[in-house]
Chains A and B, each alone.
Chain A
């Protein structure tokens, strides 16, 4: 493989990995505080792209405005889902909330199918990002460089919130011991809503950037990336934001590089994530940066 090819693959992997990481953050934060796999998170990712699509094509907004509004709207959706489908089940057995999450996911996918039909729509694009440029002998989309930058900035900002602000402290406290945190006077439901908002906003950013790279959007586009992002979260250590990004990058590099070196395996691409999952669950279920959750006898 030539150096040019390798560089191209490298940046593609970096981009894909950071997108997985952004989505994974939403999963890991929600699981950290609620011990719930938010099956609907992948569909949140999908919804953000439709918000941009309709913002630009229906309401004739400038692209950047539509993108920002989409992030806000998607965050609101995340809060709404928690309020309607998860909050009533806070004290129910965990499986109930899980089944509810699955139900919400199918509901969102199919209601979008009903309203938007399954015909893939073209995502409105920001021209400057998607015109190929040449760096030496390497041909690259500016997008591929911008995405990791944006993603890492967002993660850095999130880590700042988590470790330097009061709500962030509350989030970390809840993930350690929800009952005690409640007894300390923290308004649990507000913090949980905030968590969903942040996670959904991250997923929205990821969705918009994803659709810039793969511009056909459809109601089921969030399913596979959603699963893969969750796997990334598990690999990195569920509950850890840094772990989520690490896991996302690992997965992104795995996917791109394995296909790059063994093109014959490209049909199995989607299975890599799941093989990685099985390996991690078998070898180190708590993930790379995770902690063990003990059961008191």
Chain B
């Protein structure tokens, strides 16, 4: 088993003349929870989009389990074992909570689409298993009582949890969470931290987080990387990052960094 489940090599993303991400190299150690932080517009979601195949980087490569996935399409990358959530929640608005999770089971489904009209026994059985598996996932995020509700009718925090459950349904090894704590109150954020640790242990995941809520970042991360204007300016343990002057300067400006030094 490779120790580094995912790594990027000097990834650069240029839109016209603007470089959203420059020379970004990182690696994710199996089983760790790591975070990617930085001011707004630093290029964090762009990195996610590159890793998950929605953007093709202008330069550089992405490797997953030592396989070059740079040119792979998003659905193939998901099949390979990477799943994600979105900054602006992207649930399937026309479906119920349960259906949202079941849809994500399609990638692992073996029976073909024409199995349904022909009522193949293998198909019927697999559909039942998918339904049960989805219910179990909803249970583990605490949403099983809302299974029949329309997905977009849920309160905000529940929608975020649903998105995570949906991502888990694809049986990933590597999970990317884009601002999972956005819009949560302190109580919910605490529960989220426990939840992230729980799913990492239960589903044997490696997790990469984008997050602005520093409590969550410091509380749950085992390694943090800081991006500013598309460039990696610092990485380290939460304690190291907390007191790194470059990081403080990026977030709060030069004065605050000088203040912190004293």
Binding site for B on A (CB under 8 A): 297
Contacts and interface: CB of A to CB of B under 8 A. Distances in A.
Interface string B30-58: 00000000000000010001000011000
A292 to B, nearest CB: 11
A297 B86 CA distance: 9
Consensus secondary structure, chain B interface: loop
Nearest to B48: A297
Consensus secondary structure, chain A interface: loop
A297 B54 CA distance: 8
Nearest to A295: B54
Contacts of A297: 45, 49, 54-55, 86
Shortest beta-carbon contacts, A-B, top 3: A297-B54, A297-B49, A297-B45
A297 B52 CA distance: 12
Assign chain B's interface to a size class: under 10
A297 B176 CA distance: 15
Contacts of B55: 297
A210 to B, nearest CB: 42
5 contacts: A297-B45, A297-B49, A297-B54, A297-B55, A297-B86
B248 to A, nearest CB: 30
B131 to A, nearest CB: 30
Nearest to A294: B15
A297 B45 CA distance: 9
B35 to A, nearest CB: 20
Contacts of B49: 297
A294 to B, nearest CB: 9
A297 B49 CA distance: 8
Interface in B43-88: 45, 49, 54-55, 86
A175 to B, nearest CB: 19
Contacts of B45: 297
A297 B87 CA distance: 9
A253 B54 CA distance: 40
A32 to B, nearest CB: 21
A297 B55 CA distance: 10
A297 B48 CA distance: 10
